[in-house]
Amino acid sequence: MSLLISLLLIFFALLGAPLFAIIAAGALWGFFQADIDLSVIAIEIYRISEMPILLAIPLFTFSGYLLSESDAPGRLVRLTEALFGWMPAGLALVCLVACALFTAFTGASGVTIIALGALLLPALKQAGYPERFNLGLITTSGSLGLLFAPSLPLILYGIIAQQTNQGQNVTIEALFLAGILPGLLMLILLGSWSLWVNRDIHTSFTEFSSAKVKTTIKESLWEIPLPIVVLGGIYSGYFAISEAAAITALYVIIVEVLILKEISLKTLPEIMRESMVLVGGVLIILAVSLASTNYVIDADIPMKLFGFIQQWVQSPLTFLFLLNIFLLILGAFLDIFSALVLIVPMLLPIATQYGIHPIHFGIIFLANMQLGYSTPPIGLNLFIASYRFNKPIVQIYLSTLPFLCILLISVLLITYWPTLSLSLVELIGPSKQTLSYSDTQNDQVLHRSLFLKEYRAAAFMHMERNCS
């Protein structure tokens, strides 16, 4: 019967049923099979409202959408152009830096391709770059900022990792730090290759001018302090992530609506609506995934999978290699938010059994998903770029291949060089814990399961008292 239900859920998912409905149905069936009152689903979903960090998701998303609707993307391009455009083939660096910074705040690579593509593609063509290079650069650059704060996938992974309770305090602040060096590695490798492959373009896009640099800095004066104030405030301890998100949203509204007046009060509600459509989809999936995650932990499914995998894979290095292959395939077929809520609760406990730190695993996961955005056959960025630039999808496939190879090298370095992800967390991380991993995971999972059962029992008693 369980096999039949599983096949039915897969069938409905392939037909296009909403993801949250599939996850919720799976959790309901699992708890029913375990003879647990199904009202536990409502209790687990309600827990999402008790997470202070959850406020950061809608606020950061709204801020990113607001910035994308203003002239901030144009100012960002002009600023990076003034700083790097004078270099031979320096316009490629302008594209990489601008896309990475913009994606970090919007949290959606498709928004970056749509917002910045119209500015960058004609400029690259005018500067003499080959069309295939231009298409590949913008398509793959659209997802570069996912490892930089305050990226929405970083926050979402932190929330999910905290729910699995793998014996380490996986804070959002630590994840923000952990993503800096791997993100810079990707930028440096792509930037170096872009400069090398276009080394025959001896003419710079623009001459260096200190006056132009001053002018672009002056026109971007309101946006430049934003990441400094927000991230500086978080790591100095002046405010928490949710408070930083609130400050960001308020600051962007004041600057873009009241001071620069690039967004009218009349259009503000529409931007709010568009941004909250994305947030609503993420939150409802996250809510039902909490119930699903707790069933997975209660049923000891990760430990059973680990026992099966360990029969064939003993080495952590081999596990990481297989993990990369699986995540690259997954990233080509599944969007990053769905992958986070469906796969992380299953794989994170297994990874920790192999001695992989949850923060390092998170960076590996997001780096692979970032690469998956541009991986054929159905990477999301490929279709967005094909639609935005009116080019055949096969041409987009071919144009991204060299960039995918460079990004794959960076993913392998991130995977097998954990110091790259963990060094900043150890050095200046907000939590003063060590990053060595304990060997007592089975005990921790058992304690987690007992805690959940006690929590539910107390909740049921409370509900019965209220009813009586």
Rounded-to-integer distance, Cα 437 and Cα 167, Å: 8
CA dihedral of 434, 438, 441, 446, whole degrees rounded to 10: -70
Q: Looking at residues 89-110, what average pLDDT do you find? A: 78
Place 374 in a pLDDT band, splitting at 50, 70 and 90. Answer: confident
2 has a pLDDT exceeding 80: no
Neighbours of 28 (CB within 10 A): 18
379 has a pLDDT exceeding 50: yes
Q: What sign does the CA torsion over 111, 359, 317, 294 have?
A: negative
* Residues forming a β-bridge with 88: 204
315 or 51, greater pLDDT: 315
Asked, as a colleague might, if the bond just before 302 is cis with ω within 30 of 0, I would say no
Give the rounded percent of residues in the chain with a pLDDT score beyond 90.
13
412 has a pLDDT exceeding 90: yes
Rounded-to-integer distance, Cα 223 and Cα 200, Å: 35
**Entry pTM:** 0.77
- Amino acid, res. 27: A
Rounded-to-integer distance, Cα 334 and Cα 379, Å: 8
Q: Looking at residues 121-140, what average pLDDT do you find? A: 85
Neighbours of 11 (CB within 10 A): 10
pLDDT at 430: 53
Ramachandran sector of residue 167 (left: φ over 0; alpha: ψ -120 to 50; beta: rest) = left
Place 168 in a pLDDT band, splitting at 50, 70 and 90. Answer: low
